[in-house]
Structure 1
Amino acid sequence: MENTINMHMNAISIMIPKNFSVKEVGKLREEIYGMLDIGNKHFVMNFHDCEFIDSTGLGVLVGVYKKCMDNGGSLKIAGVQGNVKKVFQLTRLDKVFQIEHK
């Protein structure tokens, strides 16, 4: 995940890869959980480059969201577009996550 994690307004900004699927999500989940374990609580997931997300990717987002909430933190989603936006709408996760429309 090198070069994909940055600070963003008191939150850690994470660039989501072009294909956010079973092959990519494990390492991201481990890194975020590690950051939560050392006290980071606020995250922004930037989907600007993401063109595909599968159920594993959605599951990781939900798990990270729950862990953030349990620790008094936040998870925001930014840059969702195209087919990925449709997936969020179809799964109604657009009602769960705070999605920045910029």
Structure 2
Amino acid sequence: MQITHRTYRNADVISISGQFNFGTRKEFTAAMEKVKQSGSAHVILNFQQVTFVDSAAIGLLALSSQHYKGTSRKLSLVGIQGTVKQVLQLAHIDQMIPTYASEDLAIGAKAA
């Protein structure tokens, strides 16, 4: 898994590529902690290049969702595709974290 961080308009974007699983949880946690420290009002997780997720990844997404629900900050998922999309839907992650087709749509959406 590779993680990159960048700022796009008024949001911090964390782009993930490859497999997001138990073995890569520390990388994701470190990236999320860095963004939390920045105090960004909107964090976008770009999953366009994610090819696999396991239960550890689902758990980390659920924990991230809970963290952001208790703040005035927004968390969004974008670009989820194929099997990854099916798995996240089965785990109801799409009900916890708003999902969008693109970063622009996520930025333009009103806070839930």
Q: Is the structural similarity TM-score above 0.5?
A: yes
Alpha-carbon distance between aligned partners in 1 of 2:76 and 2:13, rounded to the nearest angstrom: 9
Q: Greater strand share, 1 or 2?
A: 2
Q: CA deviation at 1:68?
A: 1.9
RMSD: 2.0
Q: CA deviation at 1:6?
A: 0.8
Aligned twin of 2:105: none
Match for 1:23: what amino acid? G
Match for 1:66: what amino acid? Q
Alpha-carbon distance between aligned partners in 2 of 1:33 and 1:57, rounded to the nearest angstrom: 15
Give TM-score scaled by structure 2 length.
0.79
Deviates more, 1:63-72 or 1:49-58: 63-72
Aligned twin of 1:91: 91
Alpha-carbon distance between aligned partners in 2 of 1:64 and 1:32, rounded to the nearest angstrom: 8
Aligned twin of 2:63: 63
Aligned twin of 1:18: 18
Residues 1-102 of structure 1: pairs in structure 2 closer than 5 A: 4-102=4-102
Percent identity over paired residues: 25
Alpha-carbon distance between aligned partners in 1 of 2:101 and 2:3, rounded to the nearest angstrom: 23
Alpha-carbon distance between aligned partners in 2 of 1:98 and 1:21, rounded to the nearest angstrom: 21
Q: CA deviation at 1:73?
A: 0.7
Structure 2's unaligned 5+ residue stretches are: 103-112
